[in-house]
Amino acid sequence: MTVAVVVSLLAAVCFGVASVLQHDSALRARRRTPLHPGLLADLVRRPRWLVGVGAQFTGVALHLFAVNIGPLSLVQPLLTTGLVVALLMQRIAGRRVSHRALLSASLVVVGLVVFLVEMPEQGVTTSADVEQWIPGLLLAGAVLASTLSAGLRGLGSARSVFLGASAGTVLATSAALGKAWGAVLRANGLFVLLGSWQLWAALACGLAGALLSQAAFQAGPLGGSLAAMMAIDPVIGVGLGIVVFDEPFATEATVIARCLGLLLTVVGVGLLAWTQRGDARRLDRRIPVLLADARSGGSRG
C-alpha cells in the first residue's frame, strides 16, 4: 500500500506540472469554441505544451502502475494533491495566486487527509464482467452529460469549471478501465488484453479527457478548472471502485470520517472556484496581450 501511495503522489506532481504548462499554452493559442479539434492542432506546435505532454505521459504511466497495485479509492483521491502543486508552481513563477485560493486548496488537502486516515482492508482485484461495468459507466455517463451540458452553455470561469469537471469524470473512468488492464493481463495474457474493450475504451476516454482539459484551460483561470477536475476525479474513482471492483468504502467505525473528508474536499473546490471569479475578469483583460505576445514570438521565429 505504501508503494501505491508514493507512486500516486509522484503521478500527482507530474499532473500538476503538466497542467501549468498546458494551461499557459492554451491561453496563448487561438481562441476556439469548446471541443474544437483545431485547438490540439494549434497546441502541438508549442514547445512548452509538448513538455507538458511529456509530464502528462509520465504521470499517466505512474498512475496506471498505481491503480494496478492499489485500490482506486486510494489512488484517485491522492491525485488531488496535483492541484496544490500547480498553484504553488504558478506562485513561484510570479503568477498571482490569491491567499484565498491557497487556503481553499489547503482545505482540499485536509479533506483528503481525513479521507485517507484509515483505509479499509482491500482484496485482490479480479477482472470485472461487462455486467459489473454497466452501473458504473451509467453513473459516469450521467455526471459527464450534466457537467458537459453546463460547460457548453456557460461562459468564462463557469465554463472552465464545468469543462474541468467533465474532463475529471472522463479521466477517472479511463483510470478505472486502466485498472482492469492488470486483471485481464494476469488472467488471459497480452494478446487478450490487446483485443479487450477495456483497453480501447480507456484510450478513447484518455483522448476525450485531453481535449476537454485543454478546452477547460483555455476557458478560464487554472485554479477553477483544475480544482473541478481534481475533485470530481476521486468521487468518480471511489464510486467505480465500489460498484465495479467491489472495493470497500469504509467500516462502520470510519464511514463518518471518510464521508467528512470527501465533503471537505468538495467544499474546498467550491471555494476555490468562487475565488476565481476575479481572476477570470483579469484573465479576460490579459488574453489579447497574451495572444499578441504569441503572434510576435511566432513572427520573430
Degrees to nearest 5, angle at CA 85 with 91 and 225: 85
pLDDT digits (tens, 9 = 90+) for 212-238: 988 888 777 676 777 788 778 888 888
Give the range of the structural domain holding residue 17, as residue numbers without chain letter: 2-300
Question: What nine digits make up the cell of 99?
Answer: 491567499
Could you give the number of structural domains in the chain?
1
Where does residue 247 rank: exposed (0-12), middle (13-18), buried (19+ CB within 10 A)? buried
Residues 6+ apart with CB under 8 A from 204: none
Q: Using an 8 Å Cβ cutoff, are 278 and 12 in contact?
A: no
Grade residue 138 by pLDDT with cuts at 50, 70 and 90. very high
Question: What nine digits make up the cell of 214?
Answer: 485543454
pLDDT digits (tens, 9 = 90+) for 6-20: 999 999 999 888 888
pTM of the predicted structure, to 2 decimals:
0.75
